[in-house]
Amino acid sequence: MITPVILCGGNGTRLWPRSRAVKPKPFLPLVGDETLFEAALSRAGDRSMFNAPMIVTGKGHLCHVEAQLTGAQDAKVLVEPAARNTAAAIALAALRLPEEAVMLVCPSDHHIGDAGGFIRAAQEAALLARQGWLVAFGIVATAPETGFGYVKRGEAIPGSGGYKVDRFVEKPDLERAMQFLGEGTYSWNGGIFAFRAGDYLRELDQHRPDIAAAVREAVARGTEEGRCFHPDATLFGAVPSESIDYAVMEKTAHAAVVPATMAWSDIGNWHALWEARDTDENGNCVIGQAELVNCRNVLVESDGAHVSLIGLQDTIVVVDGGDVMVTSVSEVQKVGKLRGAVHQ
Amino acid sequence: MITPVILCGGNGTRLWPRSRAVKPKPFLPLVGDETLFEAALSRAGDRSMFNAPMIVTGKGHLCHVEAQLTGAQDAKVLVEPAARNTAAAIALAALRLPEEAVMLVCPSDHHIGDAGGFIRAAQEAALLARQGWLVAFGIVATAPETGFGYVKRGEAIPGSGGYKVDRFVEKPDLERAMQFLGEGTYSWNGGIFAFRAGDYLRELDQHRPDIAAAVREAVARGTEEGRCFHPDATLFGAVPSESIDYAVMEKTAHAAVVPATMAWSDIGNWHALWEARDTDENGNCVIGQAELVNCRNVLVESDGAHVSLIGLQDTIVVVDGGDVMVTSVSEVQKVGKLRGAVHQ
């Protein structure tokens, strides 16, 4: 059995103004009818393979989690009083589980088009986790993306579909990304990990004892409230903020990677969302009321206003409440830097 | 003395969604702080040269006229029960004036950047009108516009700055428009005319006696109400709809043209409005709250929503209430055909 640990949060800048700090990406129905969070729960919904999920979320987003948990009423919710990055969030979950529990850590701000591919990779990863490995999903790279970290695989681990990790690589420039794509031994690090709770805590104790100790204290003084667990706010606020990649995965001698082919997208910007969605014969995708005249490869999303577009190509138009955002696809990465996105 | 006859109306499609059938172009502050209607009143505001103006408007727009008449409290208002085009609108005004009155017919959906040029042309036109000419303003053409009618001048009228009209030409195709521009004897017909009331009515009687008779009947049965005059609604509704150009100017043997250089624009679409307005060093013009990142030659106008734009060139973005309209400049003529503009 595998225990899904679903991380929910985000600051809602890159898909602004649709996603916002008060309601970031996981809680929006960005692809299809389900929200990304609901889809993450659904993917791990088979109770013959997965235990009840453990949700880690910020207290500001608890309302969204509660509202969208209908498909997983058996879930436990760990409420972070403040965001202290993934090393702490995962430690929090690990400390609330038996040492032998195999955790499958899943961010909920990603879209996975092929749930079967996800399940196959999860089973492979769980197998290795039970042997003591800390396993990263290596998402088969399909483009020289410069926005992701990469994992380079080393030698194969006998009797499994996995590999030892040769090394983790931070976001590369385009030249290196193209080189990685050509070599074939690099895959994207999508932030999905599997390991036993005890193994993760042991590695964290070894490489970042400060984080491990601080989370332990916050949990020891925490309080339970129905299905929610609240670590002590003051103590948790004092936990050093670090990613699992820096704190553990890049340092452990037991890192493994399993290849995952599952139509994954981090939906890291509006163009990625356009790519994940169905489009019409002109490449346009419309959500909301809109009239498009002579437009190609346009994404329109409006929560109310009627949108009329003439003669646009490769353009994103988003209306959300009192905000209208229009960007060319080629400069879509600048959305998160807009004043409206930064000063929410 | 000259009596300004200011025509107010329009169907509000080409500058949709900012202009709408219920509040078309003349009543909006499109360039500067004054509305186009207020600017038309101001241009004819010198009471040593101009009599109190006569406004012709539809009953649906009377509220806007009343609200914007503060600069011309002595104005008379002729209220059309239905729009029957300019031949009838001008006949209505002519019938409410002494025969000898020199009318200066001015549409109020145009922008005139050089009021001095307007006054000079008006004086020239009035001089010819007093000699019995029906005078069109010939707006000196600066581009091969295909959206305007043209006037070709004939021989000079001695002792004046004007010319006999050789002929009026309907909207030409681009090739002919370029030819006109090259020849130098063609100017734009901006719909501004000067003549004595009696001369206009005599010509209308001769060339379109049906229109003349029908308007006379509607006026005979009309009612006065303060500064407003209402022709009989049923009778006026039966008046044939025709433009002054077709009904009179193209047919009369007494047509003259005076050259007018006055920074005129019909503001016939959003791009023309962009051209009439001041822009910043990147060619952008912003009305309302907006953030522009790497944009050039962009016009933004929002009546409320905050607009964020990234990487756009030669683009118009308009937000008005629940409507958002974005068009490339090159296809701006299609705005009036949008469903929202047509089915208001």
d(CA A1, CA A211): 28
Average pLDDT over residues B72-96: 96
Q: What is the pLDDT of residues A83-140, one digit of tens each?
A: 999 999 999 999 999 999 999 999 999 999 999 999 999 999 999 999 999 999 999 9
Contact between chains at B324 and A319 (C-beta distance less than 8 A): yes
Beta strands in chain A (DSSP E): 2-8, 54-58, 76-80, 102-107, 111-112, 134-140, 149-156, 163-169, 186-196, 223-225, 228-230, 255-260, 264-265, 285-287, 290-293, 296-302, 306-310, 313-320, 323-328
Query: So what's the pLDDT on residue A9?
Result: 78
* Distance (Å) of CA B207 to CA A133, B97, B145: 97, 21, 29
How far apart, in whole angstroms, are the C-alpha atoms of residue B138 and residue B116? 16
Q: Please, which residues have CB within 8 angstroms of residue A69's CB and are 6 or more apart in sequence?
A: A41, A55, A75, A77
Residues forming a β-bridge with B72: none
For chains A and B, CB pairs below 8 A equal 115
What is the C-alpha separation between A286 and A279, in angstroms, rounded?
Answer: 8
Go through B86-122 and write b for each residue having 16 or more CB atoms within 10 A of its CB, e for each that does not.
bbbbbbbbbbbbeeebbbbbbbbbbbbeeeebbbbbb
What is the complex's ipTM, to 2 decimals? Answer: 0.83
Q: Give the pLDDT of residue A296.
A: 98
Phi and psi at residue B69, to the nearest 5°: -90, 5
**B334 → chain A, closest CA residue:** A310
- Domain B2-265, CATH: 3.90.550.10
Q: What predicted TM-score, i.e. pTM, was given to this entire model?
A: 0.85
pLDDT computed for residue B344 by the predictor: 73
How confident is the model at residue A241, as a pLDDT?
Answer: 96
Q: Where in chain B is the domain with CATH 3.90.550.10?
A: 2-265
Taking only the tens place, the pLDDT of each residue in B282-303 is: 999 999 999 999 999 999 999 9
Element (H, E) at B299: strand B296-302
Q: Which pLDDT value is given to residue A13? A: 86
A chain contacts of residue B309, beta-carbon cutoff 8 Å = 325-327
pLDDT the model gives residue A287: 95
Q: Do B306 and A323 touch (CB under 8 A)?
A: yes
Cβ contact A334–B309 (<8 Å): no
A317 or B33, which is more confident?
Answer: A317
- What does the alpha-carbon distance between residue A227 and residue A205 come to, in Å, rounded to a whole number? 28
Share of chain B above pLDDT 90, in %: 89
pLDDT attached to residue A342: 87
The predicted pLDDT at position A312 comes to: 98
Instruction: For chain B, give the longest Cα–Cα distance.
Output: 62
Average pLDDT of chain B to the nearest whole number = 95
Listed as ranges, residues in chain A with pLDDT below 50 are: none
Token code pair at residue B107:
């549409």
What per-residue confidence (pLDDT) applies to A58?
94
Mean pLDDT calculated for residue range B226-242:
97
| pLDDT band at B22; cut points 50, 70, 90 | confident
| pLDDT at B230 exceeding the cut of 80 | yes
- pLDDT score recorded for residue A10: 76
**DSSP secondary structure string for all residues of A204-265:** HHHH-HHHHHHHHHHHHT-EEETTEEE--HHHHHTSPP--HIIIIITT-TTEEEEEE-S-EE
Q: Could you give the C-alpha distances from A135 to A1, A257, A258, in angstroms and in order?
A: 16, 5, 7
Residues 6+ apart with CB under 8 A from A266: A109, A110, A111, A147, A148, A190, A272
Shortest CA gap B281–chain A (Å) = 21
pLDDT at A12: 76
What is A304-342 written as a DSSP string?
Answer: SSEEEEES-EEEEEEEETTEEEEEEGGGGGGGGGSHHHH
Which of B320, B326, B338, B339 should one mutate to test binding to chain A, selecting the residue with the greatest count of A CBs within 10 A? Answer: B326
